[in-house]
């Protein structure tokens, strides 16, 4: 009976605590891959992961990036879709931006909204 009372007395975790835990787990999954810079930020309705790579990378490192994305999607964010963009930092290093969002969301992602009228899901390419 004492254990039941203790269990009931525990506070439920908040949304912010859950998101902080998720971002920590994503960073933990990325540690073995030794990316130059791995940033995880939590937005209102999506999780943004940014990975900075070297200007020239071996194919093996790129395949590790895609394996990392697959691990995050399957192990941590299984109910999420992912959009990926390739950008360039001011120094010229490539940066992969991964935006994870809930599958049920029918809205365009933050980066895709920047494209305005040029973004169309019906394009064949």
Residue 52, domain CATH: 3.30.70
Mean pLDDT is highest, among 1-10, 34-43, 109-118, for: 34-43
Q: DSSP assignment of 11-76, as one string?
A: PPPPHHHHHHHHHHHHHHHHGGGT-SEEEEEE-SSEEEEEEE--SS--HHHHHHHHHHHHHIIIII
Residue 124 forms part of a structural domain: no
pLDDT tens-digit readout, 46-67 = 899 999 998 888 899 899 999 9
Range of the domain at 85: 14-106
Provide the number of structural domains found in the chain.
1
120 in any annotated domain? no
Answer whether residue 38 is part of any domain.
yes
The answer to the question of residue 98 being in a domain is: yes
Q: What is the pTM of this model?
A: 0.68
**Does the structure show a pLDDT above 80 at 102?**
yes
């Amino acid at each position: 009976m004492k254990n039941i009372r203790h269990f009931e007395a525990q506070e439920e975790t908040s949304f912010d605590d859950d998101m902080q835990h998720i971002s920590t787990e994503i960073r933990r999954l990325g540690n073995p891959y030794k990316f130059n810079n791995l940033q995880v930020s939590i937005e209102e309705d999506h999780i943004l992961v940014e990975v900075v790579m070297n200007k020239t990378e071996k194919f093996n490192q790129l395949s590790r990036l895609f394996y990392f994305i697959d691990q995050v999607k399957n192990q941590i964010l299984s109910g999420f879709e992912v959009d990926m963009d390739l950008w360039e930092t001011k120094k010229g290093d490539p940066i992969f931006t991964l935006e994870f969002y809930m599958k049920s969301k029918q809205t365009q992602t933050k980066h895709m909204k920047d494209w305005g009228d040029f973004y169309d899901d019906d394009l064949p390419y």
